[in-house]
């Protein structure tokens, strides 16, 4: 792997940028690997990288139906934060945020990480009670949350002109999460892919897994793809919304539903808002990208959905909510919209576990899975390599459903 630096940039500039090496290889598909990871998204690539780096398992194939980093890692709002509610969740997300902050160095790839703080706009008293409770729990685990006055909120976010005393939901106060940030999603996918490839991991794009194969002993034996059968004793499913589509092929039943979460982007404007703004009571959140676009997200569509676009009424509700607090945004033209289908577990917390099919691992149920990529990859690699859950993820197994020991998380988008 050629190291990216000011010197390599200068050297390649002198030769007209014609001699940059490919960031990753496109090797021939073998018929057997030690580990197969299905899905070259954030979690899949991070898992492959940490398998090779931390656990010395480099005979890994990452199989991707479309193109690398084209799934939900390209369909989110790149918000990285750790203001969760449950004792089980917060240490995991604190770890993930910390790993993100060091990722540019770790992968030698500029993540364009921008630690810019998130401000929650509180408009109802029950929400304030919930967030103050979260603040107390977060204090224990070293995450940051503090309350600020309405005047301070308006000083920090001058564009916030709605929500006055006469509004239906006047602003009560703000909650500030200074650990939060945004970065560049493509860089995360490409950085992990390049670093994993350098450690010997093979990435195969345009390789759609059609079904899983069980051996005569009931354990996983490999996968059937559009390019033939590939065998492995360990298979990791990191495909977000299509988890059940794959696990159905070996008769596995999982407590997952697939839903559609969407976002849209405005035209680029001058720098206006330098924090991530989250308005849980109104039902939207946004941040301004480095290019100047407003990246806006709203509530999910509650029904099951495998669509990858935005529903008109979700869009209208989100815009209505946004204009109630930011009336000047009425002038913004919108450029793009997207939706991702992601699966949600029965208790809205992620599942990372070996399934009832020995050797078949799933990482699923991620809502806000983008912020979980580094720690999610590390903990899943630990699980695959050692056969036992990483301490940070030991609560998020399938066993919790068997014992009805749910982790009802309030920090996810769905719980708004």
Partner 1 sequence: MMLIPCPFCGKRNESEFIFGGPVGADRPDPNAASDAEWVEYLTVVPNPLGPVQERWWHARGCGEWVTIWRDTRTHDIVRAPDGPK
The footprint of partner 1 on this chain (CB under 8 A) covers a number of residues equal to 23
The alpha-helical segments, DSSP class H, found in 221-344 are: 243-247, 312-325
C-alpha to C-alpha distance for 329 and 160, rounded to whole angstroms: 10
In the bound state with partner 1, the residue whose beta carbon lies nearer, of 189 and 314, is 314
Report in angstroms how near the CB of residue 356 gets to partner 1 at its nearest. 10
- The pattern of x and - marking residues 330 through 359 that bind partner 1 according to CB under 8 A reads -------------x--x-------------
Can residue 323 be called a binding residue for partner 1 (CB under 8 A)? no
Can residue 257 be called a binding residue for partner 1 (CB under 8 A)? yes
Can residue 121 be called a binding residue for partner 1 (CB under 8 A)? no
Q: Pick one of 3, 17, 168, 253: the residue that binds partner 1 (CB under 8 A).
A: 253
Can residue 115 be called a binding residue for partner 1 (CB under 8 A)? no
In the bound state with partner 1, the residue whose beta carbon lies nearer, of 163 and 339, is 339
According to CB under 8 A, which residues from 278 to 307 bind partner 1? 302-307
Can residue 258 be called a binding residue for partner 1 (CB under 8 A)? yes
C-alpha to C-alpha distance for 143 and 131, rounded to whole angstroms: 13
Q: Pick one of 117, 401, 410, 414: the residue that binds partner 1 (CB under 8 A).
A: 401
Q: Pick one of 254, 275, 381, 392: the residue that binds partner 1 (CB under 8 A).
A: 254
In the bound state with partner 1, the residue whose beta carbon lies nearer, of 314 and 325, is 314
Report in angstroms how near the CB of residue 243 gets to partner 1 at its nearest. 9
Report in angstroms how near the CB of residue 141 gets to partner 1 at its nearest. 28
Can residue 20 be called a binding residue for partner 1 (CB under 8 A)? no
In the bound state with partner 1, the residue whose beta carbon lies nearer, of 82 and 355, is 355
Can residue 168 be called a binding residue for partner 1 (CB under 8 A)? no
In the bound state with partner 1, the residue whose beta carbon lies nearer, of 68 and 246, is 246
In the sheet where 228-231 sits, what is the strand order?
209-214, 220-225, 228-231
Can residue 363 be called a binding residue for partner 1 (CB under 8 A)? no
Can residue 311 be called a binding residue for partner 1 (CB under 8 A)? yes
Can residue 408 be called a binding residue for partner 1 (CB under 8 A)? no
> Angle at Cα 292 formed by Cα 278 and Cα 413, nearest 5°?
25
In contact, 330 and 323? CB cutoff 8 Å: yes
Can residue 255 be called a binding residue for partner 1 (CB under 8 A)? yes
Can residue 210 be called a binding residue for partner 1 (CB under 8 A)? no
Can residue 262 be called a binding residue for partner 1 (CB under 8 A)? no
Q: Pick one of 10, 14, 216, 404: the residue that binds partner 1 (CB under 8 A).
A: 404
Can residue 250 be called a binding residue for partner 1 (CB under 8 A)? no
Strand partners, 336: 265
Residues that bind partner 1 in the complex, under the rule CB under 8 A: 244-245, 253-258, 302-307, 311-313, 317, 343, 346, 401-402, 404
């Amino acid at each position: 792997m050629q190291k990216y630096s000011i010197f390599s940039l200068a050297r390649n500039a002198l030769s007209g940028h014609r001699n940059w090496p490919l960031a990753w290889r496109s090797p021939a598909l073998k018929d057997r690997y030690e580990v197969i990871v299905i899905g070259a998204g954030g979690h899949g690539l991070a898992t492959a990288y940490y398998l090779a780096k931390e656990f010395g398992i480099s005979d890994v194939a990452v199989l991707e139906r479309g193109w690398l980093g084209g799934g939900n890692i390209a369909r989110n709002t790149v918000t990285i934060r750790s203001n969760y509610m449950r004792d089980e969740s917060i240490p995991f997300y604190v770890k993930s945020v910390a790993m993100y902050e060091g990722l540019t160095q770790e992968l030698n790839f500029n993540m364009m990480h921008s630690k810019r703080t998130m401000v929650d706009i509180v408009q109802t008293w029950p929400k304030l009670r919930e967030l103050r409770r979260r603040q107390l729990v977060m204090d224990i685990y070293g995450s940051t949350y503090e309350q600020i006055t309405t005047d301070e909120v308006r000083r920090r976010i001058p564009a916030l002109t709605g929500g006055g005393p006469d509004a239906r939901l006047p602003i009560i106060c703000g909650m500030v999460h200074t650990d939060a940030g945004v970065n560049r999603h493509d860089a995360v996918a490409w950085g992990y892919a390049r670093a994993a490839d350098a450690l010997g991991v093979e990435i195969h794009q345009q390789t759609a897994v059609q079904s899983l194969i069980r051996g005569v002993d009931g354990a996983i034996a490999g996968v059937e793809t559009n390019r033939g059968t590939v065998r492995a004793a360990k298979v990791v499913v990191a495909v977000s919304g299509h988890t059940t589509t794959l696990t159905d092929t070996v008769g596995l039943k999982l407590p997952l539903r697939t839903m559609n979460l969407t976002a849209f982007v405005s035209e680029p404007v001058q720098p206006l808002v330098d924090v991530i703004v989250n308005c849980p009571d109104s039902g939207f959140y946004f941040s301004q990208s480095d290019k100047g676009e407003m990246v806006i997200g709203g509530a999910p569509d509650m029904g099951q959905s495998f669509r990858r676009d935005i529903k008109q009424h979700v869009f209208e509700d989100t815009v209505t909510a946004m204009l109630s607090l930011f009336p000047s945004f009425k002038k913004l033209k919108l450029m793009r919209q997207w939706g991702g289908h992601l699966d949600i577990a029965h208790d809205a917390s992620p599942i990372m576990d070996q399934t009832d099919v020995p050797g078949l691992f799933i990482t699923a149920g991620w809502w806000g899975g983008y912020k979980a990529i580094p720690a999610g990859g590390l903990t899943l690699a630990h699980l695959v390599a050692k056969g036992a859950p990483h301490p940070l993820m030991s609560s998020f197994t399938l066993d919790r459903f068997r014992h009805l020991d749910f982790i009802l998380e309030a920090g996810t988008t769905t719980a708004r």
